[in-house]
């Protein structure tokens, strides 16, 4: 109620990017004020329940609902987001060198469509700055993935070096990594999803992960690939085969879309990636196709248009083991995590599942 009645009306009167910085800055500041994180946890924390806790990638996810990349680009609000009910989160996208991103305005609300369009362009302070931020954290409440990308100025044929650089700098701080090759806001980035470029990039990434694992005498850390929804069936099939053959650990489906299907707001004309409710069905269909093609052997994190427990459950039944939200947090506020958690438990019980893992891919398997 606090968010819907007081904070949201204030935020929605602000420029979207300014509101974004107020939220992230506020959560960052809250972590420095004694008593604020416990207060946030008391208001929004989601209690772990055995039916929804997920063990995957050698990690324990207390709930299956995570925060997608793009909100906390520099990992300054990890403690704040950890306190408001997420089971995991992505930070970034981070690039080796800091960069300002694209010109403003670059973030737009499509309020009646419950959607956003962004063309931020991987604005971030760089991998070294993120490493310094992580070094300040004493403990980790939830798994944190670091989403990595290439600098805008780096040509695609040298992109592998940027991804390797991010891994080298941030290896010790990530619980797992996400390779972002699907943002529509960095020129030519999506070309890395196809052909030999994808195969060579993932080979370079896995080699660097192996090298760092030995250097740090560390155990296995997962690498996932985040893919775009704007691919045809043949492209998707080839991408899945290449990703499987590379030996990476899973797929995040999907990033934002460049299509504008299902939108009514004038801001739909803006260039950039669309997130929110209009993306829901397409991202779920991509999840279903991945699950079917891999026979459920490659874990999937579902992302795109999740605003309710039913939305999350559709993605889980299509094949997602975990689910992420982003736009819904802005439109619904942090209370959404408890609502989705409660609703998922009810849906599992309704369908006779004792644990969320039993529901993963149920629609594809014909349960």
Q: What is the pLDDT of residue 104?
A: 92
Q: Show the low-confidence residues of the chain (pLDDT under 50).
A: none
- Nearest one of 119, 112, 118 to 278, comparing CA atoms: 112
The catalytic site residues sit at: 183
Residue 141, Cβ density class (10 Å: 0-12 exposed, 13-18 middle, ≥19 buried): middle
End-to-end CA distance of the chain: 38
What pLDDT is stored for residue 192 in this prediction?
74
Residue-wise pLDDT tens digits, 286-342: 999 999 999 999 999 999 999 999 999 999 999 999 999 999 999 999 999 999 999
3-state SS assignment for residue 227: strand
pLDDT (0 to 100) of residue 187: 73
Provide the whole-model pTM: 0.95
Domain region containing 59? 2-365
Write the CB contacts of 227 (distance below 8 Å, at least 6 apart in sequence): 181, 182, 193, 236, 239, 251, 252, 253, 254, 255, 286
Phi, psi angle pair for 134, to nearest 5°: -60, -35
The CATH number of whichever domain residue 249 belongs to comes to 3.20.20.70
105 prior amide bond cis, ω within 30 = yes
Q: What is the CA radius of gyration of the chain?
A: 19
Q: List the Cα angle 36/54/84 in 5-degree steps.
A: 15
In the chain, the number of structural domains is 1
């Amino acid at each position: 109620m606090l968010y819907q009645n007081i904070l949201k009306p204030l935020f929605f009167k602000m420029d979207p990017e300014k509101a974004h910085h107020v939220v992230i800055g506020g959560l960052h500041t809250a972590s420095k004020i004694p008593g604020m994180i416990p207060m946030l946890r008391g208001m929004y924390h989601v209690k772990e329940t055995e039916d929804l806790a997920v063990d995957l990638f050698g990690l324990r996810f207390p709930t299956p609902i995570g925060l997608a990349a793009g909100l906390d680009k520099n990992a300054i609000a990890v403690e704040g987001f950890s306190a408001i009910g997420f089971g995991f989160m992505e930070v970034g996208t981070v690039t080796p060198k800091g960069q300002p991103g694209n010109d403003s305005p670059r973030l737009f609300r499509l309020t009646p469509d419950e959607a956003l369009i962004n063309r931020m362009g991987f604005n971030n302070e760089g991998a070294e700055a993120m490493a310094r931020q992580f070094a300040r954290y004493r403990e980790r409440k939830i798994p944190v993935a670091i989403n990595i990308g290439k600098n805008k100025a780096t040509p695609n044929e040298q992109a592998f070096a940027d991804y390797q650089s991010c891994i080298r700098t941030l290896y010790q701080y990530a619980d797992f990594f996400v390779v972002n090759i699907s943002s529509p806001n960095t020129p030519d980035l999506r070309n890395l999803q196809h052909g030999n470029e994808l195969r060579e990039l993932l080979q370079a990434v896995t080699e660097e992960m192996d090298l760092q694992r030995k250097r740090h005498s560390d155990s296995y850390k997962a690498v996932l690939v985040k893919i775009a929804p704007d691919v045809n069936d043949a492209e998707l099939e080839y991408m899945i085969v290449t990703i499987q053959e590379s030996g990476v650990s899973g797929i995040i489906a999907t990033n934002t879309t460049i299509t504008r299907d299902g939108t009514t707001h004038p801001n739909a004309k803006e260039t950039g990636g669309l997130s929110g409710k209009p993306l829901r069905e397409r991202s779920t269909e991509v999840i279903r196709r991945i699950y079917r093609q891999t026979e459920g052997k490659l874990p999937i994190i579902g992302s795109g248009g999740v605003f309710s427990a039913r939305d999350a459950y559709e993605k889980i039944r299509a094949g997602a083991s975990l689910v992420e939200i982003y736009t819904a947090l802005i439109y619904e506020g942090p209370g959404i995590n408890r609502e989705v958690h409660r609703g998922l438990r009810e849906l599992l019980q309704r369908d006779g599942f004792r644990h969320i893992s039993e529901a993963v891919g149920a629609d594809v398997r014909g349960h």
